[in-house]
Amino acid sequence: MKTRLLISAFAFTLAQPVLAEGQNPMATGSAMAWQCAPCHGTNGQEFLEAMPPLAGMSVEQFTKAMLAYREGTRPSVIMDRVARGFTDAEIDAMAVWFEKQPLKQWENTSLTEANAAHQSAQTQATGGQK
């Protein structure tokens, strides 16, 4: 048990990029993705409104869109402002998380399905390490 804890602590240290003084470690993909829900649906699973669903969107599509908003090369209403709040690594972490979410309306998704999708995204994000 003790050995396992030590190993995961070590892995965690390795995974963290070197931070400048006063800079926060990155928030998790899910913590950032949750902040998108008021407009894009719980877990990005809103398929009935003008804002596009994010669930199941490919990493490439998500990343390209966010970078274009951030750099001002894609016209937008508010997404340019939102995108300017995120670094490349943060955008990537959200992209990985959203890609694993079910392509269905949130109201028709069970808690079990949601948990499984979350676990799958976590596994992807950590390269199989817990």
Partner 1 sequence: MSQLENKTFDQKITRRDLIKIFGATAVAASGIFGASSQAFAKSAAHIVVLGGGVGGATFAKYLRFADPDVKITIIEQDAEYITCLRSNDVIAGMHTLDELTFNLDTIKNKYNVNVVIDKVVGADFDKKTVSTAKGERFSYDKLVVSPGIDFKFEDYEGYDAELAEGEFPHAYKAGPQTLKLREQLLAMPQGGTAIIATPQNPFRCPPGPYERASFFAEYFKKHNPTAKLLVLDPKDRFTKDVPFKKAWERLYGYKSDNSLIEWVSGSEGGRVVRLDTANMMVETDGDDFKADLINIIPNQRAGVLAQKLGLTNASGWCPIERNTMESSLHKEVYVLGDSSIADAMPKSGFSANSQAKVCAQAIADTLKGEHPGTAIYSNVCYSLAGENYGVSIAAVYEVRDGLIQPKGESAGVSEITDKKAQPILEAVYQKNWQREFVKDVFS
**Binding residues for partner 1, per CB under 8 A?**
22, 24-28, 31-32, 34-35, 37-42, 46, 49-51, 77-78, 81-87, 106-107, 111, 114-115, 118
Contact 95, 63 (CB under 8 A): yes
Contact 62, 72 (CB under 8 A): no
Could you give the CA distance from residue 121 to residue 115 in angstroms, rounded to a whole number? 10
In which residue are the tokens 């998704």 written? 109
Could you give the CA distance from residue 121 to residue 130 in angstroms, rounded to a whole number? 11
- Closest approach of partner 1 to the CB of residue 19, in Å: 11
- Closest approach of partner 1 to the CB of residue 96, in Å: 16
Could you give the CA distance from residue 129 to residue 86 in angstroms, rounded to a whole number? 25
- Closest approach of partner 1 to the CB of residue 11, in Å: 14
**Which residue from 117, 88, 112 is spatially nearest to 102, judged by alpha carbons?**
117
